[in-house]
Amino acid sequence: MTRSERRPRPAPGVRALKSRPQWQALKRHARKLRAKHLRDLFEADPARGTQFAAETVGLHLDYAKQRLDARAIELLLELAQACALTERIAAMFRGERINATENRAVLHVALRMPKGKRLRVDGVDVIAEVHAVLERMAAFCERVRSGAWKGYRGDRIRHVVNIGIGGSDLGPVMAHEALRAYGDRGIDCRFVSNVDGSDFAEATRDLDPARTLFIVCSKTFTTQETLANAQAARRWCLNALGDDRAIARHFVAVSTNRSEVEKFGIDPTNMFGFWDWVGGRYSMDSAIGLSTMLAIGPQRFHEMLAGFHAMDEHFRKAPLARNLPVLHALIGIWNSNFLGIDSLAVLPYAHYLKRFPAYLQQLVMESNGKRVTHAGKPVGVDTSPIVWGEPGTNGQHSFYQLIHQGTRAVACDFIGFCESTSALTAQHDLLIANMLAQGEALAFGKSAAQVRAEGVPAALVPHKVFEGNRPSSTILARRLDPFTLGALVALYEHSTFVQGAIWDIDSFDQWGVELGKVLTRRIADELTAAKTPRLSHDSSTNALIRRYRRLRGNS
Ligand code: F6P
């Protein structure tokens, strides 16, 4: 009996990723390609710049500056097939309970399906429910925007404060910033997320309570930060308006948990619901987007949903080889698992997208920062990349030095638009020139010979050399508008899903955030107890608790 015969054979379909022949072939191919510089790849194929690109619903993805070739793409697509990607996509759209550890369907795609479509989950037509909520949201937003909805003292609402955290904050705040140019400037939207009271204090310090509406957003309505901030908002409102009845005019809730909303004291007629099949980080187009709809109005909100839906349809129907989210995901797998590049910088050359990297951090890392497969076995390969970023050109004057000349490899996603959303169109050309220049410099660099030819003194030559060969993709669209934002977010949502499917992990749970929450409850009591508590943590945590208590005058 040979050694390989003695090894336990995994059941079909749950084969360890690393042992798949496609994975092995990719490893061998990566070894060969590693020796090639992007300069070589471009020289060898004059059509590369147009061949390694794909386009759909107004988004053009150029991945010619990734360190791969046609064979790598072919092998990656074979891997995707072997991991039953097509079947996994279909299962999600059918409403199967693909979030296995929470036994839930994953149906953010239902949030943007047009009225009249049918999708049944547990016998319920979810599309009809989605549109019923959208209609209630629209009616409410029209009333607030027109001034028909009055505060308790009869004033028009001028300020909206969204209280929420994680998916109940990052999507709304990102969309608000991204679509500012389309927003009603008569309504000032603010966002409070952090349990640090300074967040609430700064967001409300110059607001008039009589003109302020709070949206308390929480899927569970049990999140400690959000409840603490909502209580602070309640006190702030009652201090000024002096009557419990004011709450009904100044507070609305977005949640799946009606009983907790009621317990908090918000009238359920002022509650907008959603469903357990919407993950927090996939919820910005549910009622969690109420602040977005208040800012841009129902029609623009529907344009955003149409953008999401257009990308969903592309993702569901397009062949894998021309499928934008699939290609985007496979490029990420190639970089992190085969080239060892575990960092992804998302660099929007659009200042309005300044919160997009933060939004993606939750989307990607909370979804795919997992170490075991569906079956609970170690994945055996690296999973989620580290996602970070800043808008260009600001980042260029900060961390780009490391991306160009540092020892660590970073993959970059550049995102740019052809039309300016401001009147300063000449500056827009300069902005996009910067973006294209960065991609070019990263890919091709500057050799020692080129530096010497410029007459640079020998001692300085090594400092001025740019190795190049640093991979990037560029997403170029016509204009940052609600439709395009929807399509862009859906691209990253589905790319995240595809990567999770390849790694065979549950991209829709988040058990990793639980332990800290439990420990916090215990430590909060110990920090504030009147009598010095007996501490039984590790010696470091014990010492920090004692020091904190001493400096707070608690011991
Ligand atoms: O941090 C964990 C988390 O559960 C996220 O997944 C979620 O988006 C966030 O907390 C907020 O949760 P909720 O909307 O229930 O307040």
181-197: buried (b, 16+ CB within 10 Å) or exposed (e) per residue?
ebbeeebbbbbbbebee
pLDDT at residue 422, as a whole number? 85
| Catalytic option among 397, 463, 514, 531 | 397
**Which stretches in the chain have pLDDT values below 50?**
1-13
State the Cα angle at 272 between 301 and 215, rounded to 5°. Answer: 80
Residue-wise pLDDT tens digits, 174-221: 999 999 999 989 999 999 999 999 999 999 999 999 999 999 999 999
pLDDT at residue 14, as a whole number? 58
Helix then strand count (H, E) for the chain reads 23, 13
* 185: CB partners within 8 A, 6+ apart: none
218 Cβ below 6 A of ligand 1: yes
Tokens of 165: 């955290």
Tokens of 442: 């990263």
For atom 3 of ligand 1, the residue with the nearest CA is 166
Q: Which residues pair with 446 in a beta bridge?
A: 466
Say how far apart CA 96 and CA 216 lie, in whole Å.
30
Helix or strand run (H / E) with residue 118: none
User: How many alpha carbons fall within 13 Å on the CB side of residue 266?
Assistant: 29
370 carries an active-site annotation: no
Class of residue 198 by CB neighbours under 10 A (exposed 0-12, middle 13-18, buried 19+) = exposed
pLDDT at residue 12, as a whole number? 44
Say how far apart CA 356 and CA 353 lie, in whole Å.
5
Say how far apart CA 436 and CA 132 lie, in whole Å.
44
- Rounded to whole angstroms, what are the CA distances from 342 to 32, 72, 337? 20, 18, 8
365 Cβ below 6 A of ligand 1: no
Centre of ligand 1 to C-alpha 255, Å, is 11
pLDDT at residue 15, as a whole number? 75
* 17: CB partners within 8 A, 6+ apart: 23, 83, 379, 380, 381, 502, 503, 504
366 carries an active-site annotation: yes
For atom 10 of ligand 1, the residue with the nearest CA is 166
Tokens of 232: 């602070």
Please state the three-class secondary structure of 407-443 as a single string. CCCCEEEEEEECCCCCCCHHHHHHHHHHHHHHHHHHH
Choose the residue to mutate in 229, 288, 510 for probing ligand 1, maximizing ligand atoms within 8 Å of C-beta: 510
